[in-house]
Chain A
Amino acid sequence: MATLLAAFLCGLVFAFGLVAGGMTQPSKVVGFLDFTGAWDPSLALVMGGALGTHTLLRRFVIGRPQPLLASRFAVPTRTDIDSRLMAGAAIFGVGWGLGGFCPGPALVALGGGMNAAMVVVPAMLAGMLLHDRWFAPMYAANTPAVPMAGAATEFGRDG
C-alpha cells in the first residue's frame, strides 16, 4: 500500500511539474523545438531544471544499500549504442515535433480532458503495442541468442 501511494504521489508531482513548466501546451513545445522565428526557450528551463535537480540529488540516493520501499535499485545498465536506439529516438523526435506531445504530458493532458490528448494517447498506445507485440518479436527472433534470459525484456530498459 505504501508503494502504491508513493508511486501515485510521484506521478502527481511529475504531472504538476509538467503543467507548471508548460509542457502540456503543445504550442510551447513546438515553439521551443522551432528555434527560428519567435523562439520560446521555456522548455530549456524545464529540462535544465529537472536534469540539474535530479543529477544533484540522485547521488545521495544511489549510494544507499536499497530504496526505501523496494528490495533493490533497478536502473538501466546497457551501454551499447545500437541502431534501434538511434532509429527509435529519431522516430520519437519526429512525432514529438509534429504534435508537440511526448508521453508524460500527453497522459496529463488526457487527465485534464484536453481534446487533442484524446487522439494522441490512444494513437501513442497503439504505437507502443505495434512495436512491442509485432516489431520487437521480429528482431528478437533475428538477434543471436547471447543473453537468452534478457530477450523478452531487452527493450524498454532505459526508462
Chain B
Amino acid sequence: MEHFTPLPSLIGGILIGLSATATLALLGRVAGISGIVGGLLAGDRGEWAWRAAFVAGLLFGGAVAVAFHPGSFSMTLDRSTPALAVAGLLVGFGSRLGSGCTSGHGICGMARGSGRSITATVTFMTTGALTALVVTQALGGRL
C-alpha cells in the first residue's frame, strides 16, 4: 500500500459524483464518457453540441491540471506504443459493444441500481484485474 492516497482520491470521487449529478440535473443526461464520445462520432446533430462542450471541458480540465500539477499525468507504467494502441482499441470497441464504461456503468448505472450496469461493472473489474495480474506477474510488468 505504498502509494495509497485516500484523501485526494475520495475528494476526486466526490467531484465526479457531483459532476454526474449536475449533468443529470441540468441536461437530463447520463455522464457516461464512452456514450458521449460515441454520440459525437455518430454525428447526431441534435445532441452534438452539449457532448462537444462536455468533452471540451474534459480536455481543458487536463490542460489546467498539468499547469498546476504536472505530476498528475506521470506515466510510470512500462508500456510500448503498440501495447497502448491495442489497449485503446479494446477500450473503445468494448465500451461501445457493452454500451458503457467506468463512468456510464460503474457510476451512473450502478447509482440507478441497473442490473445491466452492475453486471457490466463486475465483468470489467474482473477481466481488468485478471489482465493486470497477468501483465504484472507473468510478464514482469512490461508490455
Which A residues are closer than 8 A to B by beta carbons? 3-28, 30-31, 33-43, 45-55, 57-58, 61-62, 64, 66-76, 78-81, 84-104, 106-117, 119-132, 135-136, 155-159
Q: Which residues in chain B, 95-122, are within 8 Å of chain A measured between CB atoms?
A: 95-112, 114-117, 119-121
Nearest neighbor of B98 in chain A, beta-carbon distance: A88
Given known pairs A99-B91, A128-B38, the reply for A11 and B104 (CB within 8 Å) is: no
What residues on A are CB-neighbors of B89 within 8 Å? Answer: 95, 123-124, 126-127, 130
Residue of A9, A14, A127 near B93 (CB, 8 A) is A127
Q: Which listed residue, A14, A70, A122, A155, touches B57 by the CB 8 Å rule?
A: A14
The 3 closest A-B pairs by CB, nearest first: A159-B32, A49-B13, A159-B104
Q: Is the CB of A111 within 8 A of B92?
A: no
* Chain B positions near chain A (C-beta within 8 angstroms): 1-6, 8-35, 37-39, 41-42, 49-51, 53-66, 69, 72-77, 79, 81, 83-112, 114-117, 119-121, 123-133, 135-137, 143
> Chain B residues with Cβ under 8 A from A115's Cβ?
75
From A19, A88, A120, A128, B62 is in contact (CB under 8 Å) with: A19
Q: A21-B12, A47-B102 known; 20 other A-B pairs, CB under 8 Å?
A: A4-B50, A10-B54, A11-B56, A11-B60, A16-B65, A30-B132, A34-B137, A37-B137, A90-B123, A92-B97, A102-B103, A103-B37, A108-B61, A111-B61, A127-B94, A132-B41, A156-B100, A158-B109, A159-B34, A159-B105
